[in-house]
Structure 1
Amino acid sequence: MTTTDPAPPQTTHPLLIQGGMGVGVSGWRLAQAVARTGQLGVVSGVALDVVLARRLQQGDPGGDLRRALAAFPFPDVAARILERYHVPGGLAPGRPYRPVPKLGLRPHPHRTELITAANFAEVFLAREGHHGPVGVNYLEKIQMATPAAVYGALLAGADYVLMGAGIPSEIPGLLDALAAHRPAEISVTVAGAGSDRRHTTGIDPAALHGPARPRPLERPRLLAIVSSDVLAAYLARRPETRPDGFVVEGPAAGGHSAPPRGRLRLDETGQPLYGPRDHPDTARIAALGLPFWLAGGYAGPEALQRALDSGATGVQVGTAFALCRESGLDPELRRRLLTGAADGTLTVRNDPDASPAGFPFKVADLPATAADAGVYAARPRLCDLGHLRTPYLKADGAVGYRCPAEPVATYIRKDRPESDTTGRRCLCNGLVSAIGLAQHRPDGYTEPPLLTLGQDLAFLAGLPADHTAADVVVGLLGTRRAERTTP
């Protein structure tokens, strides 16, 4: 189903996983660079529909996306996407991007096609020209995009699917079905809906491939991203929910974090306080018999050795790769982050309120970005991308959508308290802006970027000033064997 040559069957696991960060930060160039070293390169699967549509509207400089779409196994779908979004030469400066369909429970053929093709393109490009392992990272929270996104990644030959920010108990079955091109669905959490009413979202591959039945796809390995040994044990106890391994994230990891267990307590800077209960018992996870990688503060050879000594297969590292040359971050923003980290002025705050998802979220305090209270206060509140919207049951029984980062009056009309909106940032627009795809509003306003990193920046002292992904791998592994035999 893809023109990329198939990789030999995997009998090993990588020591190092490159984290799937933000929206487009872990893009295909970064994942490819890591995979070429023999380690697991990971693309972020979040909001790839937006990323594909906007890059096509920028003209697709270099033609990479058009090359990937030319390899998409359903050419009619690719042609419709190009006709709708590709702008030869790119939009004029300041012109708004054409919107993409918002996620929702109602079937929307164009949305399904765009999400599937976008995930195919990102994984295809990451796998192009080598046989290293490539994975894709999703947020379980963004359930309404998952079936189409996963199908696109499978069509491109993803070796691993990583999923966190929730309980991915239905994903093993989803992978089984989609690898065989069977219709598949997963449950969608709808606020206010009783347990007697199940809401779902899904995809029927036949709507894309037509009456001809394609050959089965390789089923990728599933790594569940967890923050507790209790959740790992829950997922591992039954074959239908059991992943192929775990990424075990500690509180220092970038992006979303699990909230502290028990009553939320904040330190003097307003950040959540974590205690011993918030650090997973690695011995219990090792006893489950599945491979696992430790994440959050493991960017160094000594930390890697500690992880291996605890029974882990290896480590996942994010921030070191987010700041490398192949990162998808806007180059000027990356330079400012590196400068701030080098001179000690950059701080990364675990903000308990920033994310509409309700989880603490790491925000890099960079001036002139949405982390700045003044910059964000000047931003007109709106929710036009909506990947973090929550479906909810309205009084008439229909399903509506709400986001605490949307206009306050709009949110209150949806039977929620104003206090929910305090401090909320629009992560969707902020993270997309951070990779050079900021929306330009008709009134001239341009969306400011929002940046996330992990809180451990000490690793930068051992890297070149403008380091590459290969520099990170060498710094972590040195002369250590690149791979480790599967248990």
Structure 2
Amino acid sequence: MTTFFSRNALPALIQGGMGIAISNWRLARSVARRGHLGVVSGTAIDRVVACRLQEGDQDGLVRQAFDAFPNREMADRVYARWHRPEGLPEAGAYRPVPMFSADPPAHLLELAVIASFTEVWLAKRSASGPVGINLLEKIQAPTLPLLYGALLAGVDYVLMGAGIPRDIPSHLDALSQHQPCSLKLKVEGGEDESIPFDPSQFACQDTPILRPKFLAIVSSHVLAMSLARSGGVDGFVVEGPTAGGHNAGPRGWSPAANDEPVYGPKDAVSLERIKALGLPFWLAGGQEEPDALQRARELGAAGIQVGTAFAFCSDSGMDPRVRLKALAATISGQIKTLTEGRGSPTGFPFKVLPLPGTEGGRAAAERIRQSCLHGYLRSAFRKADGTLGWRCPSEPEELYVAKGGKAEDCPDRRCLCNGLLATAGFPHKLKEGGTELALVTTGLMENLKRFLAHAEDYDANAVIDYFCGAEAKLPATV
């Protein structure tokens, strides 16, 4: 059933923006075609699109999106740089994409802008419902070009968590008017750096932009109250600790051990305080039962956000071999999702599926510390000479320590960038030899068997039907 989207409407169901490329344009479009909010992941989308081009763009869909970009000369330039008509010479042999820094080269900025444009444009094609993009506050350097590209494609919502996205509303205001702005880059051991961004260099000023709505992803009513006071926020996704991927740590917690964090009553979010802010909100994490949408509305929410059920459906961007293996292992009761206290270099708890044959199936003692090929979770630090450097506690310990990092930060860490790209079907050859292993991050999976009771696989429509039942697939009006 196709429904029509109005910006005066609120989606009852938000499909989680899972990265890297799990929430790809195909999944988001499938959800948006049903009138709900389909969300693409903006995390590492520059690399994802570069990989698709290097694989040959066999179906021509990336070329179609590039042809729709307002600056055709720029689109042709980016396409020529990364497209390999013959595909990869061998599995994993991708040309490296430069890592983002505070002063990225022009060709990397162009790739980021057109890559996020491409993902949103493809998701919106033939979809009558809204499309959003999800970004992480933690990954700062590419944020402004990714936002601008998404805005040029007509993105309807921007969702952001993994930090305090206080400045994003003002950036959306500026970029919607093709105005320059700058993002504050957090720097360890020194003053923050300002990263300027000028849309005029992309020559797209004649393209009208309607400012998208901004939803902050929060796990605390205190943070929601603070962001509401700052202004420019259009609503909240209130995420509980059972949500997949990264989670906020329990109150008073520090990632000193790799034990699973324990959450208690003090970590509960006061929905009454969030409701008092007068802004719409959606509940996320642990929304598994068929009456979840009804219960959320009874609590004052506009609806729910669902991630895991969509992540493992056939429309998602997960490598089908990994996805089906993970489903089979979980449903048979062989494994369950773990929350690692120290696995992620971000310092946040991180959910991992210990699937045999993947990076998540390796115990800490078995992990090989790899050189990160992508660098999204690196932190900027100030060198002795005053210049910026970049380091990550998941990189080889000797490199991290040589950059001034503390050796005690390194044990038990995983390289998420390498593993998550492999999970999306883009495993790269490693400097140390071999190829990246997939790393599956997820929420609770035990109940996914409900979608497979009468079939070997399931799609996004099955998830929507399950949560929305027989009610019309229309967003709630306001």
TM-score normalised by L of structure 1:
0.93
Q: How far is the alpha carbon of 1:165 from its aligned partner?
A: 0.2
Letter in 1 for 2:473: A
**What one-letter code is carried by the residue in structure 1 that aligns with 2:31?**
V
CA distance in 1 between counterparts of 2:39 and 2:77 reads: 28
Task: Check whether the contact 1:255–1:361 (CA below 8 A) recurs between aligned residues.
Answer: yes
**Structure 1 residue 145 corresponds to structure 2 residue 142:** yes
What's the secondary structure of 2:360's corresponding residue? coil
The corresponding residue for 1:231 is 223
Percent of aligned pairs sharing the same letter: 47
Whole-angstrom CA distance in 2 between matches of 1:44 and 1:367: 26
Distance 1:304 1:459 in 2: 17
Q: Corresponding residue for 2:263?
A: 274
CA distance in 1, matches of 2:434, 2:104: 33
1:407 to 388, 396, 402: 396
Following TM superposition, by how much is the alpha carbon of 1:143 offset from its aligned partner in structure 2, in angstroms?
Answer: 0.8
Aligned 8 A contact 2:219 2:239 in 1: yes
The 3 A distance-change label for structure 1 pair 378 and 459 is closer
Between the aligned partners of 2:92 and 2:429, the Cα distance in structure 1 is 6
Q: Comparing 20-29 with 411-420, which one deviates more in the overlay?
A: 411-420
Between 62-71 and 269-278, the greater mean CA deviation after superposition:
269-278
Structure 1: 4+ residue segments shifted above 3 A? 263-267, 374-380, 441-444, 462-465, 483-487
Q: Is 1:131 matched up with 2:121?
A: no
Separation in 1 of the partners of 2:473 and 2:126? 19
Shift of 1:200: 1.6
CA distance in 1, matches of 2:253, 2:321: 40
Deviation at 1:79, TM superposition (A): 1.4
Report the Cα offset of residue 45 of structure 1: 0.4
Match in the other structure for 1:156: 153
Q: Which of 263, 283, 303 is 2:292 aligned to?
A: 303
What residue number does 1:94 align with?
Answer: 91
The alpha carbon displacement at 1:107 in A equals: 3.9
Q: Give secondary structure in 2 for the equivalent of 1:176.
A: helix
Question: Equivalent residue for 1:166?
Answer: 163
Letter in 1 for 2:457: D
Native 8 Å contact 1:252 1:456 kept in 2: no
Cα 1:303–1:378 change in 2 (3 A) is closer
For 1:115, the equivalent position in structure 2 comes to 112
36, 42, 45: which one pairs with 1:45? Answer: 42
d(CA) in 2 for partners of 1:356 and 1:486? Answer: 41
Query: 1:205 corresponds to which residue?
Result: 199
Amino acid at match of 2:272: A
Contact 1:264–1:273 (8 Å) recurs in 2: no
Quote the residue 1:243 is aligned against: 233
Gaps of 5+ in 2: none
Distance in 2 between residues matched to 1:363 and 1:299, nearest whole Å: 19
Partner of 2:173: 176
Distance in 2 between residues matched to 1:199 and 1:311, nearest whole Å: 40
User: Hey, what's the Cα distance between the residues in 2 that align with 1:356 and 1:108?
Assistant: 26
2:365, 2:200 → 1: CA distance?
A: 44
After TM superposition, the score normalised by the length of structure 2 is: 0.95
Q: CA deviation at 1:8?
A: 6.1
1:160 and 1:221 in contact (8 A); partners too = yes
Q: 8 Å contact 2:343–2:349 — kept in the other structure?
A: yes
Unpaired runs of 5+ in structure 1?
Answer: 1-6
- Listed as ranges, the matches of 1:388-403 within 5 Å are 388-403=377-392
1:337 to 326, 329, 336: 326
Amino acid at match of 1:181: H
Check if 1:72 corresponds to 2:66: no
1:215 deviates by 4.1
Output the CA distance in 1 between the equivalents of 2:72 and 2:276. Answer: 47
Q: Over aligned residue pairs, what C-alpha RMSD do you find?
A: 1.9
CA distance in 1, matches of 2:189, 2:274: 34
Look up the match of 1:423: 412
| Residues 29 and 126, structure 1, Cα contact 8 Å, conserved in 2 | yes
Counterpart in the other structure of 1:28 = 25
Residue deviations 1:177-226 (CA, integer Å, cap 9, x gap)? 101111111211111124xxx4122321110117xx41430111000000
Measured in 1, the distance between the counterparts of 2:301 and 2:23 equals 23
Note the C-alpha offset of 1:385: 0.7
CA distance in 1, matches of 2:362, 2:458: 31
Q: CA deviation at 1:384?
A: 2.1
User: Counterpart of 1:439 in structure 2: which amino acid?
Assistant: H
Q: 1:382 aligns with which of 367, 371, 377?
A: 371
Change (3 A) 1:278 1:266: farther
User: Could you tell me how far apart the structure 1 residues matched to 2:422 and 2:475 are?
Assistant: 38
When residues 95 and 32 of structure 1 are mapped into structure 2, their CA distance, relative to the original with a 3 A threshold, is closer
